[in-house]
């Protein structure tokens, strides 16, 4: 066979196009939809304690999401983004990491943050933007962050976390830290230029990063099939950039866990960036500002309800005799009580002092920012009834 020496390419004489639309990367599945193990699958080693921690976190996130959508509807918080139906993707992957690994999320990975140890009170303080919020109430609800837990603060502009993850992982490599960065994003965010620049750089510089795409079928109202991409989803893009790539059933927590565990090993031991595409479905609306009945059918949602990741894992755990139906009900009731109690507490905590608005960015806030803050205070003094949480603390309120 003739070879081109410079590029080490096989030479062919027939003009043959590679049909990108015919490519189909398979999907790893360990747990079938009915909670039984797929024939021939290797179940990852998982002790009871770890399995129950994963299940516990899934239950917590399910009830947190349900309650906070309701709280938004009641006018108690301004906005919410639910991860309903996608709990296995964030929790299964976070469970495969070390606490020292960096997490850079999009905004639907509350499961990973909860798994790391963010408390129900910390969730509520952020959602109510009260003075105990780590971000001092300066971000929209759900834009969590925790330096202590190595969870980078969420940014609203899509895909910015992807090149940041490449850069952060490069730093981890230079420091020989033995840690990696996991970066979550949706298939919609993968249409941003940032995604492509980040993956190419990660592959070229061989950084310990795990790029986890949650392919949940929609980017707000844009369906992934046909409107977001014409090819075989996101996974082939990892192949194109020359990195190890795998597609998994994102609703199967065991498949997600196994793939992420292997990806972490590749990243940390061999400085091999990895792309994981988790196939799932966004069961709720995009956010509380969205109504999905305008762009998708009830039948489609029902078909995905049958693939529910929480019910699937629960059936597996019950079959394994690590859990009973009663245990599951008790965990759910306990989580619900904790969420409701924290919610009631957090909404009574005062708002941050308005001076916090301009703190922490500059060592000393510049004059123009100070002037703008004074103008804002004057405006609030004039219309105190429009700012009930802030007005009472402007003059003389404790900082």
Ligand X SMILES: Cc1ncc(C[n+]2csc(CCOP(=O)(O)OP(=O)(O)O)c2C)c(N)n1
Question: Could you say whether residue 268 binds ligand X (CB under 6 A)?
Answer: no
Binder among 109, 125, 187, 252 for ligand X (CB under 6 A): 187
Instruction: Assign 3 to helix, strand or coil.
Output: strand
Alpha helices in the chain (DSSP H): 48-73, 87-94, 110-116, 120-127, 161-174, 193-205, 235-240, 253-270, 298-305, 309-319, 325-346, 367-382, 388-391
Rounded-to-integer distance, Cα 371 and Cα 330, Å? 54
Size of the site for ligand X (CB under 6 A): 16
Q: Please identify which residue in the block is written with the tokens 């929480």.
A: 310
- Alpha carbon dihedral 196, 202, 204, 207, in 10-degree steps, equals 180
Comparing CB distances to ligand X, the nearer of 152 and 219 is 219
Closest residue to ligand X: CB criterion:
186
Sketch the per residue contact string, 294 through 323, with ligand X: x for CB under 6 A, - otherwise: ------------------------------
- b/e string for 128-166 if b means 16 or more Cβ within 10 A? bbbbbbbbbbebbbbbbbbeebbbbebbeebbbbbbbbb
Comparing CB distances to ligand X, the nearer of 286 and 393 is 286
Question: Could you say whether residue 218 binds ligand X (CB under 6 A)?
Answer: yes
Comparing CB distances to ligand X, the nearer of 214 and 237 is 214
Question: Could you say whether residue 152 binds ligand X (CB under 6 A)?
Answer: no
Active site residue 282: yes
Given the residues 62, 237, 282, 393, select the one marked as catalytic: 282
Binder among 173, 282, 335, 393 for ligand X (CB under 6 A): 282
Q: What are phi and psi of 203, to 5 degrees?
A: -70, -40
Q: How far is the CB of 171 from ligand X (least distance, A)?
A: 24
Active site residue 295: yes
Stretch that binds ligand X, among 34-42, 58-66, 114-122, 214-222 (CB under 6 A): 214-222
Question: Could you say whether residue 237 binds ligand X (CB under 6 A)?
Answer: no
Question: Distance from CA of residue 204 to its chain's centroid?
Answer: 25
Question: Could you say whether residue 220 binds ligand X (CB under 6 A)?
Answer: yes
Question: Could you say whether residue 65 binds ligand X (CB under 6 A)?
Answer: no
| Tokens linked to 268 | 């940390």
Side-chain-side CA neighbours of 339 within 13 Å: the count stands at 22
Comparing CB distances to ligand X, the nearer of 79 and 322 is 79
Strand duo 151-152 + 209-215: pairing: unpaired
Question: Could you say whether residue 186 binds ligand X (CB under 6 A)?
Answer: yes
Catalytic annotation, residues: 282, 286, 295
Residues that bind ligand X (CB under 6 A): 108, 156-158, 185-189, 214, 216, 218-220, 282, 286
């Amino acid at each position: 066979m003739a070879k081109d020496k410079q590029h080490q390419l096989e030479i062919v004489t027939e003009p043959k196009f590679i049909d990108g639309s015919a490519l189909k990367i398979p999907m790893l599945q360990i747990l079938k939809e009915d909670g039984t193990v797929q024939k021939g699958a290797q179940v990852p080693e998982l002790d009871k304690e770890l399995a129950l921690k994963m299940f516990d976190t899934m239950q917590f996130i399910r009830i947190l999401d349900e309650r906070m959508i309701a709280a938004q509807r009641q006018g108690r918080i301004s906005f919410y983004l639910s991860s309903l139906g996608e709990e296995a993707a964030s929790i299964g992957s976070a469970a495969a990491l070390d606490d020292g690994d960096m997490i850079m999320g999009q905004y639907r990975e509350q499961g990973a943050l909860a798994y790391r140890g963010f408390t129900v009170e910390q969730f509520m303080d952020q959602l109510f933007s009260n003075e105990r919020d780590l971000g001092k109430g300066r971000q929209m609800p759900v834009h969590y962050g925790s330096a202590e837990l190595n969870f980078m603060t969420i940014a609203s502009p899509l895909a910015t976390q992807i090149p940041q993850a490449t850069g952060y992982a490069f730093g981890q490599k230079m420091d020989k830290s033995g840690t990696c960065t996991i970066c979550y994003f949706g298939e919609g965010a993968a249409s941003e230029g940032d995604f492509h620049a980040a993956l190419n750089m990660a592959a070229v510089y061989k950084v310990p990063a795990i790029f986890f795409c949650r392919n949940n079928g929609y980017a707000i109202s844009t369906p992934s099939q046909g409107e977001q991409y014409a090819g075989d989803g996101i996974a082939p893009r990892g192949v194109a950039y020359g990195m190890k790539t795998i597609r998994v059933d994102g609703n199967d927590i065991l498949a997600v866990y196994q793939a992420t565990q292997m990806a972490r090993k590749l990243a940390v031991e061999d400085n091999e960036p990895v792309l994981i595409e988790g196939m799932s479905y966004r069961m709720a609306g995009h956010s509380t500002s969205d109504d999905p009945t305008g762009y998708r059918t009830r039948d489609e949602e029902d078909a995905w309800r049958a693939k529910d990741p929480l019910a699937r894992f629960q059936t597996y755990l019950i079959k394994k005799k690590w859990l009973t139906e009663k245990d599951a009900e008790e965990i759910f009731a306990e989580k619900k009580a904790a969420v409701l109690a924290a919610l009631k507490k957090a909404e009574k905590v005062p708002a941050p002092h308005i001076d916090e608005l301009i703190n922490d960015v500059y060592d000393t806030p510049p004059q123009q920012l100070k002037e703008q803050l004074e103008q804002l205070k004057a405006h609030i003094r004039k219309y105190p009834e429009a700012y009930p949480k802030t007005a009472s603390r402007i003059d003389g309120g404790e900082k």
